[in-house]
Structure 1
Amino acid sequence: MKHNVRLLVLLACSVVILTQSLKAQQMLHPGINQNAADLAEMKRRVRAGEEPWKSAFDRLKAIADTPFVARPFAHVLRGPYARPNIGGNELSASAEMAYNYALVWYITSDRKYARKAIAILNAWSPVLWDFDYNDAKLLAAWTGHVLCNAAELLKYTNAGWEQKDIDAFRNMLMTVYYPLLRYYFPEANGNWDGAIIHSIMAIAVFTDNRAMFDNAVDHFLHGPVNGSVFKYIYPNGQCQESPRDQGHVQLGLGEFAGAAQVAYTQGLDLFSIGNNRIGMGFEYTAGFLLGKEPHCYCTISERAKNAGGNYEYVYRHYKAIGVELPFVKKAADAVRPKAARNVLTSVRQFDKNAIEKSKPIRRYPLQSVVGAGAIPQNPDTAGAVLVLPGQSVQAAIDRAAGSGGRVLIKAGIHILPATLQLPSGVHIYGEGMASVLFLDPASGMRDAIVNKEEDMHNIALKNLVIEGSGNVDPGTDPNSNRAFKGRYNRGGIIFRSSKEGGMHNITLEHITVRNCTFNGVLISGADSIAVSGCDLSENGGNVIPGASLQHNLLLTHCQNITISNSRLVTSPYGSGAALEHCKQASLTRCEIARNGYYGVLISESEAILVRQNLIEGNDRSGVLVAFLYKGSNKVITEQNLIHYNGGYGLESYAARGSRYEKNIYEGNGTGPLQEKISEEKSILMY
């Protein structure tokens, strides 16, 4: 077995190796948003009257000169939509003012501002006992890193903060804040974990806890569900909350960027990972706010379409390292005249020589499959049986089967009263994302489409949507109808034969299948399958027969397979693509990302080619070639970008005659080993 592995280097080594090298080091102080050199440069620019820092400071000082008295609570309660809200506003305001005072103290050397900041921290530290209600973690995450930034400045600038009071603040962090935050909350929308990671990093710095810091970094890179930056920001820049509203999107982006800012202060570059993924998310969102219409695998929300205050640091960071983000610059320019602290804390002293030396050479084979899934078009209607919403799709298919075989599903929601049964020789196509097939939940049936005959052949499904959720309205909350909630049992396209090659010539082209708790597409016993330009997402829940057994795409006992230019993403409990007992298959130029199990799962198969795919952010290994009884044979995995998966980049057991070469690995797992290639007949027991 030949292994020609190319490890992509980040800042002279991979993020994982760099993280390990940092473990033995002490935390840098001051070291949360800025280090000592950054703070000194910020102070110099303000005192020299340089803009925009001088005006930003004037605005900050005006805020600091307004009367403020901290009102601490023992029990801070914040429910959804701030109902109830007992002590939440007071804590948030206290955190903000403490940081404001601390910065003004540092710049002016006027101790009255230091005393004000210290008074706030000293007021809350002995009083706060706990948080409660729906937003408990979120409120703690919003305020934790702000309080820590204030405390870090006071502790390391001779501000007069007594050691007993520092100890009391540390006690509050470690007995109130950290116990609440330490388990994260990836089941919520991604802005929650972005904020939690941000605050845990800040707490780790202030308390000199390297293990805590490393844990937050690992969650940033590999957190499940909505927990990591790769779960939140997709390869095209779209964000997990893009269908919700742009306020929450900017909140989430800001928290992940804030966490990356803390990490950068400590010598770890999380901004460059994933082809500058944070910058891509900001640029995508800023472009939309400023009038661009980006491609979105959802209905992008027009709500809260106003630029927030987190653009300044992101713009200046990427500009300093030579990455141009024109829409981010425009957003920062628009917000800057009213901004205060964000402008000041964006001052960073970059070592340009170190930046040049650490720039990796990236030859990424693929960034994203923009446009996969159903696409708008003006379909050819000549000779087709047309189906309008409300008309019987099954009747149209049965009619077409004896008269040319073409069925056009017109735009609209087509509610199927029963599972659709496909005969041979039928070509069914739609008008893009507007043509939706939806199995009526009242039917009591699970699967949207099945084969009518065991020897079904010469069929094609093109350019339409199969909606697998219990409701055709996705709502504005991207978590509301997710398959992982498991309140229903639904399958998408399920074709089965009881013999090898029993079905043949099956084409799926520009099909969107989403939100099925069973498999999105399951084909068993077929010869000659073509899957191209499809978007299979959020399929494969934990319904019976259980988690890890249903996937976005599952092929069993099939041969002569091509899967190309498709998205196989975000299966809650399954893999992007699973091939079992298959022969002669190629999986090329696909985005296989954010799946709850493996990216690609291959078992007991032969002559499988996995080439030029983007495989990222899957909870286990990017690719697993599993051994069950005889193992697989002639698996070739080459020229893929496999990064930031929770397990290995590639894991293989007893795969005979196989080659894994010219893959690009980065940041997989928690150790430096990116591949596990074993000749042992090891059966994974989980």
Structure 2
Amino acid sequence: MPRPLLLVLTLTLVAASAVLVTARPSTAAGPALAAFQHPGVLVDKAQLDFARQQVQAGAQPQTAAYDAMKASSYAALSYTPKPRAIVECGSNSNPNYGCSDERNDALAAYTHALLWYFTRDDRYAKKSIQIMDAWSAVLRDHTNSNAPLQTGWSGASFSRAGELIKHTYGGPWAQRGRFETMLRDVYLPEVRNGAGCKNGNWELIMTDAAIGIAVFLDDHAAFDKAVGIWRGRLPGYVYETTDGSYPKAPSTCPSKDTRDEIIAYWQGQSTFSNGLAQETCRDFGHTGWGLTAATHVAETAYHQGVDLYAEAGKRLTDGFYFHARLETGTATPSNLCGGTVKKGLGAVTEIVYNHYNNRLGQQMPTTLRYTESQRPAGANYFYAWETLTHADNPR
């Protein structure tokens, strides 16, 4: 064999070997890893195996969480999907032409994928596939004002379901390519470029879907785009005093470049402290969506070797602490939202608590107290069964 050809083959083999090495999470900017880890959308195999072992041993809180999932309507083997070609969702899902059906079906597909993994009963895998196939056979578009948000809600759950079935189920999925095409051509274009100057939960939920779809499709460009959107949005959603005297504008909303514009965008709040969110004075429900979507993106990126948790610094933990302390009894100060807040953060703290406490050893007693009060976390819009998958799970 001529020496130049031998050299080329050697270098090719070395490069191929490098692709197979799983890197530790890094905070370095730059392209995504050359090879994605699968399964790796929100949960990875080590986490799933740990949680499964806990359930088999009857350990808590995983067993109670598993029992709640198994008893839910999403887990029924008789579950019937309700797909449609055009999902039309206006503000507050009014009109609601397929909006609730699509969200529920996506959550059901993910629920059955989890049940497959925990039970190894292939009836659950087949049901998850049936739901995904039903939608990929007919869905063509999302329309009306809530289309980007609706796409984010449903795309986040569908990408998790598809990821688990694709990478853990050895049985047939004849229409997998059609499902991949649906995520690539119908969902990803709607969510990949962010939400501009909409309230921040929109963009973070859309980015949650975008990064999940990117990993599922092995789409490095889409992954990098999602990470970039997250890096530009989080400082525009959760304030830290290091940002200056008032919050930054999100990178997708550069038009808000004065203090008055920022105050108006932050629901009229003019006094800023660590952990305050752009939607705090709107209500804690939407704020919880934004915070947990930000955490979902960080968790998926972590499984792919990009440590957005480290990049966030105190921003994520302060954001959850700020709201959890008010949920757990701290009086609302008079300079916050006129002295009145609308509580209802939701069961959104399992993943952030697990990372910073169980992986890193950071003490978060207020967030823990709130987290325990919400267990077992159920399923809602775009998040599901996170006590089962992430509670006390250091993997």
Q: Where does 1:638-677 land on structure 2 (aligned, <5 Å)?
A: none
Aligned with residue 234 of structure 2, among 229, 232, 254: 229
Matched residues, number: 332
Q: Does 1:214 align with 2:224?
A: yes
Partner of 1:86: 97
Partner of 1:168: 178
* Contact 1:105-1:114 within 8 A present in 2 as well: yes
Partner of 2:158: 147
User: Match of 1:336, SS?
Assistant: coil
Identity across the alignment (%): 33
Once the two structures are superposed, what CA deviation does each residue of 1:124-163 show, in whole Å capped at 9, x if it has no partner? 012100001111000100111111111111111125242x
* Contact 1:92-1:143 within 8 A present in 2 as well: yes
AA partner of residue 269 (structure 1) = D
* Contact 1:39-1:347 within 8 A present in 2 as well: no
* Contact 2:192-2:225 within 8 A present in 1 as well: no
Partner of 1:315: 353
CA distance in 2, matches of 1:197, 1:316: 21
Q: Where does 1:224-263 land on structure 2 (aligned, <5 Å)?
A: 228-235=233-240, 236-263=274-301
Report how far residue 265 of structure 1 moved: 1.4
Report how far residue 295 of structure 1 moved: 6.0
CA distance in 2, matches of 1:72, 1:181: 20
CA distance in 2, matches of 1:270, 1:157: 26
Aligned with residue 368 of structure 2, among 329, 352, 356: 329
Pair 1:189–1:111, CA change in 2 (3 A): same
AA partner of residue 131 (structure 1) = H
Q: Does 1:186 align with 2:196?
A: yes
CA distance in 2, matches of 1:247, 1:55: 25
Partner of 2:61: 52
User: Match of 2:198, SS?
Assistant: coil
* Contact 1:95-1:143 within 8 A present in 2 as well: yes
Once the two structures are superposed, what CA deviation does each residue of 1:103-136 show, in whole Å capped at 9, x if it has no partner? 0110001111111111000000121000011110
Partner of 1:77: 88
Partner of 1:664: none
Structure 1 gap segments, 5+ residues each:
1-10, 223-227, 352-686
AA partner of residue 229 (structure 1) = L
* Contact 2:25-2:304 within 8 A present in 1 as well: no
User: Match of 1:160, SS?
Assistant: coil
CA distance in 2, matches of 1:348, 1:84: 40
Aligned with residue 131 of structure 2, among 90, 109, 120: 120
Q: Does 1:102 align with 2:128?
A: no
Report how far residue 306 of structure 1 moved: 2.4
Report how far residue 183 of structure 1 moved: 2.0
* Contact 2:238-2:316 within 8 A present in 1 as well: yes
Report how far residue 347 of structure 1 moved: 5.1
CA distance in 1, matches of 2:217, 2:372: 36
* Contact 2:282-2:342 within 8 A present in 1 as well: no
Pair 1:291–1:47, CA change in 2 (3 A): same
Pair 1:301–1:41, CA change in 2 (3 A): farther
AA partner of residue 141 (structure 1) = G
Partner of 1:571: none
CA distance in 2, matches of 1:113, 1:217: 32
Pair 1:297–1:160, CA change in 2 (3 A): farther
CA distance in 2, matches of 1:296, 1:182: 39
* Contact 2:107-2:157 within 8 A present in 1 as well: yes
CA distance in 2, matches of 1:269, 1:301: 36
Q: Does 1:200 align with 2:210?
A: yes
Q: Where does 1:287-686 land on structure 2 (aligned, <5 Å)?
A: 287-293=325-331, 298-299=336-337, 302=340, 304-320=342-358, 321-337=360-376, 339=378, 341-346=385-390, 350=394
Q: Where does 1:23-42 land on structure 2 (aligned, <5 Å)?
A: 23-42=32-51
CA distance in 2, matches of 1:296, 1:161: 60
Pair 1:296–1:271, CA change in 2 (3 A): farther
* Contact 1:128-1:172 within 8 A present in 2 as well: yes
CA distance in 1, matches of 2:187, 2:334: 36
Report how far residue 301 of structure 1 moved: 7.5
CA distance in 2, matches of 1:171, 1:252: 28
CA distance in 2, matches of 1:262, 1:102: 17
What TM-score does the superposition give when structure 2 sets the normalisation length? 0.79
User: Match of 1:131, SS?
Assistant: strand
Pair 1:115–1:12, CA change in 2 (3 A): closer
User: Match of 1:156, SS?
Assistant: helix
Give the aligned CA root-mean-square deviation in angstroms: 2.2
Partner of 2:259: none
Structure 2 gap segments, 5+ residues each:
1-22, 241-273, 379-383
Q: Which protein is richer in strand relative to its size?
A: 1
User: Match of 1:77, SS?
Assistant: strand
Pair 1:12–1:117, CA change in 2 (3 A): closer
AA partner of residue 189 (structure 1) = N
User: Match of 2:88, SS?
Assistant: strand
What TM-score does the superposition give when structure 1 sets the normalisation length? 0.46
Pair 1:159–1:100, CA change in 2 (3 A): farther
Pair 1:194–1:113, CA change in 2 (3 A): same
CA distance in 2, matches of 1:295, 1:38: 39
Once the two structures are superposed, what CA deviation does each residue of 1:622-676 show, in whole Å capped at 9, x if it has no partner? xxxxxxxxxxxxxxxxxxxxxxxxxxxxxxxxxxxxxxxxxxxxxxxxxxxxxxx
Report how far residue 297 of structure 1 moved: 6.7
AA partner of residue 330 (structure 1) = R
AA partner of residue 106 (structure 1) = Y
User: Match of 2:103, SS?
Assistant: helix
Pair 1:294–1:161, CA change in 2 (3 A): farther
Report how far residue 350 of structure 1 moved: 4.1
User: Match of 2:175, SS?
Assistant: helix
Report how far residue 274 of structure 1 moved: 3.9
* Contact 1:148-1:206 within 8 A present in 2 as well: yes
AA partner of residue 155 (structure 2) = G
Report how far residue 348 of structure 1 moved: 7.5
* Contact 1:34-1:348 within 8 A present in 2 as well: no
* Contact 1:238-1:296 within 8 A present in 2 as well: no
Pair 1:296–1:279, CA change in 2 (3 A): farther
CA distance in 2, matches of 1:277, 1:249: 14
Pair 1:261–1:297, CA change in 2 (3 A): farther
User: Match of 1:306, SS?
Assistant: coil
Q: Which protein is richer in helix relative to its size?
A: 2
